[in-house]
């Protein structure tokens, strides 16, 4: 039975290769989009690097 299943898979190897390559490309696209989202979110959460604790505010009327 297992030998028969391997024979069926081997005979349809071109079809299976295209199917697996499509899944791989889809995974890579989803991974890239998710990576960009995480990167931009982490950059959004970082402070801008401006120190505002020793700043004077002067108003002129």
pLDDT digits (tens, 9 = 90+) for 31-45: 999 999 999 999 999
Q: Which residue has the higher pLDDT, 29 or 56?
A: 29
Q: What is the pLDDT of residue 35?
A: 99
pLDDT of residue 29: 98
Residue 52 has pLDDT above 80, yes or no: no
What's the pTM value of the predicted model, to 2 decimals? Answer: 0.59
Using alpha carbons, select from 9, 32, 29, 33 the residue that is nearest to residue 21: 29
| CB 16, CB 9: distance < 8 Å | yes
Dihedral angle sign, alpha carbons of residues 6, 9, 11, 17: negative
Residue with tokens 């401006």: 50
């Amino acid at each position: 039975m297992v030998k028969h299943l391997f024979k069926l898979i081997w005979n349809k190897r071109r079809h299976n290769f295209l199917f697996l390559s499509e899944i791989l490309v889809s995974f890579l696209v989803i991974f890239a989009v998710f990576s960009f989202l995480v990167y931009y979110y982490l950059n959004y959460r970082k402070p801008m690097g401006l120190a505002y604790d020793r700043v004077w505010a002067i108003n002129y009327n």
